[in-house]
Structure 1
């Protein structure tokens, strides 16, 4: 079939196939059915969540583990507004998701006459969280618009992109012009910046590296760079696992005093692919996070370098390209007899554990036991006790095996759908969703989505009968707790209603056994003894 015999909706799906898209998350509606005309005949798998927010979170989890943008189809108006929370989470964590929505027919736009799903300016609303939001009105522009969307999502700092297509335009014949997938080239540093960075590295005797989510796709390069510099590598939440098992690994939060001491006792710090955000570096909001004056920041986004901590040397570059340039030709700055870095890293790991309380250490041990039992698992978290502990310290087994919504934008309801997306994005690995009893109820119906697609997911519900973290904060502030004890359903009964096996457990051994034994998808409810 030639392109000029296709409708815009069919041509869009054809172009998504050309771009390598294999999965779309969405809920069809009268304003997107023309997209589904093409989808049914394609090789793209369609996953139906129970809510459009779930579609966005699934696309997020899919993107994190696969390294490819997650794609959503959502309807006009409420479909898009329901997805905005997921788009905001993706924006905060620099995750590429493409949201394609319908919009009312061209002749009705901006009239305010009460058409179905009408918004005053839908594209402008999406633009508040999207890197780019575009309304496609000319079929001839389809290929260029889609190419730009992929370019925006992948060529600089990633994030969500939105394209809306009026319902009447979806039906029009597509123009003959095709689609060419953009092939952005990594941005390299200026030679003068590389020379300056090399001089700083050569003069350093106690360097350290701090990495963020931008490092996830460059794990091997960062290991080589850290070894050459003999520098401990401290990872923020989204970078855990980049240095997995390496003697230079410090998988601990910069919010901890011992990690801050390590950084401030260093004579050079390189901040690589991290925005140095407060929820990573100042979780307790004590204002104690500082960095030495001798700081190199490397980020693909120039505007990010202008925010927050000022660096002695700020370099806008693709992180992989920067490390390649630094290591090329056998770097003269490399340490000839590395030894001190591993010793400093080991001391920081030990001090971090001693700084954490007994409760957090117990949670961290449980997380490590889960990985011992399920070494290939991806742990996807909501805001709950296990996740808070792991964000302070956890030794993840590989990049993108630990991520959650408890930092940055900090939405609840993330883990269940994001874990489904993660399992679909990397079919060879299972996913474990770490959930509180309150947080799961934000997206409880996604248990049915997991059953529909037989996702390899275990939903681990940490049931402490309410929002314990908020209750503790209210008590500490001298406020009588109110609104923090929402009743929970019988989770096992809900799971059974959706056809999921489940087990209620009360100790660690039972929990691990359930995760190992139950067929997927499944639900495991842990009754926190602290709540009686």
Structure 2
């Protein structure tokens, strides 16, 4: 045993997590999970007290995305777990390594009316995460934690939930033993599957969020092959706009299907090519198709072709090895890519007028290396298509599950992970209502966090959708508070700039402030 001391299991769990590299835990204590808090300080783990379990989950999500580590959250039985299920669903959709550990009642079949009682909270959590299990003994808890951590390292990174009965948390337990050594799967044998890529005349790559860690190899490979590329929204920055054959994050442009139809080889790396990537039923390709992914479920579906189960980085490094001495000789031209990008940018500007110039102004004002967390808001929808990222893994958005209220707490988690590096949130007026209380956490921690609040006074995207569907818009306007005064009431700074230049100045100042700054922006800024 690494630590022969006997402690209550709740305390041992914190010590085990510390030994496995966990430094930060997000959560809220309650009478049911208080034993888990017995060991946090003793284990030298930082605990971040959220104002709501949903905020704790989004903070853990943002922390995990920024740090590459596991985002851990402690919550109570029943409502605590229910409150964090939305972040768990978002983390599942976006492949975020989140570990939620909750208490649970010792039994629910024979006794009714217990505090925080649910009929089956384990099963409820299972609907929004990779798996949800109950550990009734210390050894079961340790085994499940190590299983989760191992899967985060070797498999697709998706959230897990472990619940432990209150009596088990209180019971004495010996410490967890050492962790087993893990070995990543070999890439031997994939060369034959990838070889046709080298002879394609119009190879077209699509990089998703699963390729973020392989950005260097992806960019080099595109140069070595003379290949064209797209990224999904989650993959932005894997290839940058400096590559003249990069189409950007414009998969959802309807006529991008025509581009795919002209490719003789399409290679999808670390992307599901899901509805929220394409917003159409078919990719549009007519040539060969190769998919590289580590997720068996993804490989089993989608377009027919050659499906290779492999980590994106390992596959791209193997391709680069195979391409040594290869002379780029493809039929893609820089003019066709440039023409398409110009056309698509104009379409985005026409669809949501006035936001593109504000995105450009914001991009020019943020420091190099800023990590951005955005919410379900029209500002972000525009930015995802026109804001070229100069590096991967620096723009995080609630893709897929599409929850409101993500950006503020997720950016707080990201700022904690990045310890002084520039981090920013972009959120809409309606979404801000969902998690506004977490502003208190940012104030409490003194985080220099700019929060861009885009207020169009309505659920603008829903109103537009209703109009397109010939539905008279209703229930899309809600009374808003004075957001600047609200932020100031929390102890944050707040500013409402009246020009693009003032907006940029406010953003620059916010990165150097002693705490969070709400920057209130409306369509009047560009009118």
- Per the normalisation by structure 2, the TM-score is 0.93
Which residue of 416, 426, 438 corresponds with 1:434?
426
Q: 1:444, 1:227 → 2: CA distance?
A: 45
Q: How does 1:205-224 map to 2 (within 5 A)?
A: 205-224=201-220
Q: How does 1:114-125 map to 2 (within 5 A)?
A: 114-125=113-124
Q: 1:452, 1:358 → 2: CA distance?
A: 41
**Contact 1:361–1:389 (CA under 8 A) maintained in structure 2:** no
Shift of 1:121: 1.6
Q: Which residue of 2 aligns with 1:237?
A: 233
- After superposition, the Cα gap between the structure-2 partners of 1:11 and 1:361, relative to the gap in structure 1 and judged at 3 Å, is same
Q: Which residue of 2 aligns with 1:24?
A: 25
Q: Which residue of 2 aligns with 1:142?
A: 141
CA offsets 1:422-450 (integer angstroms, 9 cap, x no match) = 11122242222111111100111111111
Q: Which residue of 1 aligns with 2:290?
A: 296
Q: Which residue of 2 aligns with 1:103?
A: 104
Q: Which residue of 1 aligns with 2:270?
A: 273
- After superposition, the Cα gap between the structure-2 partners of 1:195 and 1:154, relative to the gap in structure 1 and judged at 3 Å, is same
- After superposition, the Cα gap between the structure-2 partners of 1:384 and 1:325, relative to the gap in structure 1 and judged at 3 Å, is same
Q: Which residue of 2 aligns with 1:180?
A: 179
Shift of 1:152: 2.2
Shift of 1:171: 1.7
Which residue of 246, 249, 256 corresponds with 2:246?
249
Q: Which residue of 2 aligns with 1:391?
A: 384
**Contact 1:70–1:97 (CA under 8 A) maintained in structure 2:** yes
Q: Which moved more, 1:335-344 or 1:128-137?
A: 335-344
Q: 1:289, 1:357 → 2: CA distance?
A: 24
Shift of 1:349: 2.6
Q: Which residue of 1 aligns with 2:39?
A: 38
Shift of 1:295: 0.7
Q: 1:307, 1:61 → 2: CA distance?
A: 29
Q: Which residue of 1 aligns with 2:313?
A: 320
**Contact 2:372–2:425 (CA under 8 A) maintained in structure 1:** yes
Correspondence 1:373 to 2:373: no
Structure 2 unaligned segments of length 5 or more: list them: none
- Per the normalisation by structure 1, the TM-score is 0.92
Correspondence 1:523 to 2:518: yes
**Contact 2:293–2:310 (CA under 8 A) maintained in structure 1:** yes
SS of 2:292 mapped into structure 1 = strand
Q: 2:282, 2:500 → 1: CA distance?
A: 35
Q: 2:127, 2:432 → 1: CA distance?
A: 27
**Contact 2:12–2:173 (CA under 8 A) maintained in structure 1:** yes
SS of 2:419 mapped into structure 1 = coil
SS of 1:12 mapped into structure 2 = helix
Q: 2:217, 2:415 → 1: CA distance?
A: 26
Q: Which residue of 2 aligns with 1:400?
A: 393
Q: Which residue of 1 aligns with 2:505?
A: 513
Which residue of 179, 202, 211 corresponds with 2:198?
202
Q: How does 1:1-20 map to 2 (within 5 A)?
A: 2-20=3-21
Q: How does 1:317-466 map to 2 (within 5 A)?
A: 317-328=310-321, 330-331=323-324, 334-336=326-328, 340=332, 342=334, 344-358=336-350, 360=352, 362-374=354-366, 375-405=368-398, 407-466=399-458
RMSD: 2.2
Q: Which residue of 2 aligns with 1:500?
A: 492
CA offsets 1:308-327 (integer angstroms, 9 cap, x no match) = 322x2111111111122222
SS of 1:110 mapped into structure 2 = coil
**Contact 1:223–1:243 (CA under 8 A) maintained in structure 2:** yes
Structure 1 unaligned segments of length 5 or more: list them: none
Q: 2:500, 2:180 → 1: CA distance?
A: 49
| Runs of 4+ in structure 1 over 6 Å off | none
**Contact 1:258–1:351 (CA under 8 A) maintained in structure 2:** no
CA offsets 1:239-260 (integer angstroms, 9 cap, x no match) = 1112234314332221114533
SS of 1:4 mapped into structure 2 = coil
Q: 2:526, 2:112 → 1: CA distance?
A: 53
Q: Which moved more, 1:476-485 or 1:295-304?
A: 476-485
Q: Which residue of 2 aligns with 1:261?
A: 258
